[in-house]
Each structure stands twice: as C-alpha cells, then as structure tokens.
C-alpha cells in the first residue's frame, strides 16, 4: 500500500505549522490512470461527492421524465446545499408536486448553513425542518424514484428498490463491486469504492457525451444541470459554486464530507477524485484547486481560486498570520 502524500500546507510566519496528507487520481475516458498521488487503490466512502451517481436511476428509470423534472431540480438532486431560500423553496415545490411533505423525507432536520435562513428560523422561534438538510434535493429525487417504482416509504433502506438501483449504477460506473456500505449523514447508504474507481466514474461522466446509451445520456443531463446551476449545487461562499463559476461552466465539481472532492472535465474527458486523510475541508479545497489549475481549467489568480489556494490566514483583528498553499512538489 502506498502512503498518502502531502497535498496542502499551513504556514504561520516562516514556519510550516501543519501538513495535510491525501490520495488522488486523474483518470481518462478509458478508465486508465493519467496521474496519481498516494494510493490509488485506497478504499473510501465518497460521501456526497457521488450524488450525481446516486441521481442516475432517477433519469434512467423514466421517473424524471414522467415527473417533468427541470434542470434546476436535477441540479438539486446532486446538491449539498446551504439551506437557503433558493434551495428550500424549490425543494418544497418539488415535494408538493409529488403530493408529499417534509415528514416523507428520511434525511433528518439540519440547521441551514445559510445565515439569512438560519436567522429567520431563530427570529420565528422555529426549528429546522428536513428540507433544510443539505441533502434534501437528493432525497426529493429518491422520493420521486420511489413513487415512480410504487415502492415503500423507507427509501433509504439498503434493500429498498431505490437503493438497489443506486448500488447497481454506482458499481457500473466505478467499474468495481463495492465491498461495503454505511449510512451517510443523511441516512442513505454510502457505498465504498477506491480512489481509482471514483475517478473512473468521474471520467465516465466526462466522456458520456460520446455515447448514446441511456445511462450515459442521463450523465450528460446531470453534468449540464450542475454546471448551469452551480448556485443550487452548493450555495454562496461555497467552493463548489464559486469554482464552477470561475471555470465558466466547463467543469463540474462536487465535494463530500471528510474531505473528498471530485471533478468532471468533459472537454478533456478526464475525471478527478481526491481524499484528504484527516478529513480537513480546507485541504481538500486547496488540493482540488491545485489539480484543476495544473490541468489548465482554473485560473490560479481568479478570486475564487485565491480564496482556497495560496490564500492568507487572518486572525480576528484581520492581521495576516499565515497561508494555506499546495504542498511543495504536489502538482
């Protein structure tokens, strides 16, 4: 097994204070590794970075077409959103169109990350609902698919037809049988795969426009929805939203909990997957920015890039104390 390698460094003054290690893979459209760091065979939970994979059966089943889902709704099905009004209003309308309500979700309530939404709840003495959960768009997709299948209400159960269809799609696009699963933060099963498998899946998405099969065409729709609506995929101030905007809609990226990040590059037909071993988001954002810059799709001097890579660390008095930068020799 290859050890993880330094990907991001935290400097304070002239001293290297902390180092974040990780694994990463870039795959081409044949599934072959173009570049790798650390252990490409390391098993991980992709967490929310694989939401576009989980959304494939929503389209391939015919459920999305029958329900008349919009590009915005498809973007939300791939989202880890902030719980802002632009997210929750759309998800609530989606639920209403299904004849369902908040209690039909199985993702659990979550305080919104969006400050305005959070403050509105506090002022109204209201508790967060399940629609505020960052995964509520994905779960609206699950409910749509479950309703189309005529399946039961417990759509997060591993033996439920929804999750069985998700697993089949996941194993198909990663090119490997998943050795196990565990409940994600939203209670849906999250299937293990290798970094190579996850990067292979992203490269499959990147090259989907070259193929005419139903699943590939579903992938094209999802990537198009993500890049057209980066504000719905995450939200203001978030890396996924700001970096996708910075790349002009040419690349889809998605983060996952515990410092997983993926990228889909259709023009280059490349897929990227990385995992920071200590789970630090600041490091995964720095690392994915560095890789995207090295691949020529992200401007290193764009403000969205500089917020996450080669960026200053400032204290509460706004005094610069250090910086976050890619590790020496990483890319």
Residues 190 and 163: their CA atoms lie apart, in Å, by 10
- Give the whole-angstrom CA distance, residue 181 versus residue 197: 15
Please state whether 258 falls in left (phi above 0), alpha (psi between -120 and 50) or beta.
Answer: left
- Distances in Å between the Cα of 13 and the Cα atoms of 144, 253, 260, 306, 310 are 53, 32, 28, 18, 14
Distance of CA 289 to the CA centre of its chain: 15
- Please tell me the predicted confidence (pLDDT) of residue 237: 97
Q: What is the DSSP string of 23-75?
A: EEEEE-TTS-EEEEES-TT-EE--GGGGHHHHTHHHHHTSHHHHHT--HHHHH
CATH fold of 5-273+299-326 reads Beta-lactamase (3.40.710)
pLDDT at 2: 87
Q: Look at residue 151 in the predicted model and tell me its pLDDT.
A: 98
Task: Give the model's pLDDT for residue 206.
Answer: 98
CA angle (317 as vertex; 313, 322 as ends), nearest 5: 20
Residue spans of beta strands (DSSP E) within the chain: 5-12, 15-27, 33-37, 43-44, 181-183, 189-191, 193-194, 252-256, 260-265, 270-276, 311-314, 320-326
DSSP state of 2: P
What does the pLDDT read at residue 1?
64
Instruction: Going from the first residue of the chain to its last (331 residues), give the mean pLDDT of each consecutive group of 10, the final group possibly shorter.
Output: 93 96 98 98 98 98 98 98 98 98 98 97 97 98 98 98 98 98 98 98 98 98 98 98 98 98 98 98 98 98 97 95 96 93
d(C-alpha 167, C-alpha 179), whole Å: 11
SS3 155: coil
């Amino acid at each position: 097994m290859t050890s993880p390698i330094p990907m991001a460094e935290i400097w304070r003054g002239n001293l290297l204070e902390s180092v974040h290690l990780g694994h990463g893979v870039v795959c081409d459209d044949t599934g072959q590794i173009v570049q790798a760091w650390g252990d490409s065979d390391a098993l991980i939970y992709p967490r929310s970075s694989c939401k576009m994979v989980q959304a494939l059966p929503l389209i391939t089943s015919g459920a999305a077409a029958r329900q008349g889902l919009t590009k915005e709704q498809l973007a939300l099905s791939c989202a880890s959103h902030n719980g802002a009004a632009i997210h929750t209003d759309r998800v609530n309308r989606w639920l209403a169109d299904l004849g369902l309500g908040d209690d039909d979700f199985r993702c659990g309530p979550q305080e919104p990350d969006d400050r305005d939404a959070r403050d509105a709840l506090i002022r109204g003495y209201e508790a967060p609902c399940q629609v505020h959960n960052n995964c509520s768009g994905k779960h609206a997709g699950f409910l749509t698919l479950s309703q189309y299948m005529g399946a039961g209400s417990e759509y997060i159960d591993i033996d439920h037809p929804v999750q069985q269809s998700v697993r089949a799609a996941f194993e198909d696009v990663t090119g490997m049988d998943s050795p196990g699963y565990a409940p994600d933060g939203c209670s849906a099963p999250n299937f293990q795969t290798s970094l190579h498998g996850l990067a292979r899946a992203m490269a499959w998405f990147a090259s989907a426009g070259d193929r005419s099969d139903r699943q590939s065409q579903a992938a094209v729709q999802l990537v198009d929805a993500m890049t057209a609506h980066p504000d719905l995929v995450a939200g203001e101030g978030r890396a996924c939203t700001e970096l996708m905007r910075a790349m002009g809609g040419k690349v889809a990226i998605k983060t996952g909990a515990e410092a997983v990040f993926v990228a889909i590059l259709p023009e280059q037909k490349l897929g990227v997957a990385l995992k920071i071993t200590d789970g630090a988001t600041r490091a995964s954002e720095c690392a994915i920015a560095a890789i995207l810059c090295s691949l020529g799709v992200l401007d290193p001097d764009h403000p969205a890039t500089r917020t996450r890579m080669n960026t200053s660390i400032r204290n509460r008095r706004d005094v610069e104390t250090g910086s976050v930068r890619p590790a020496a020799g990483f890319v």
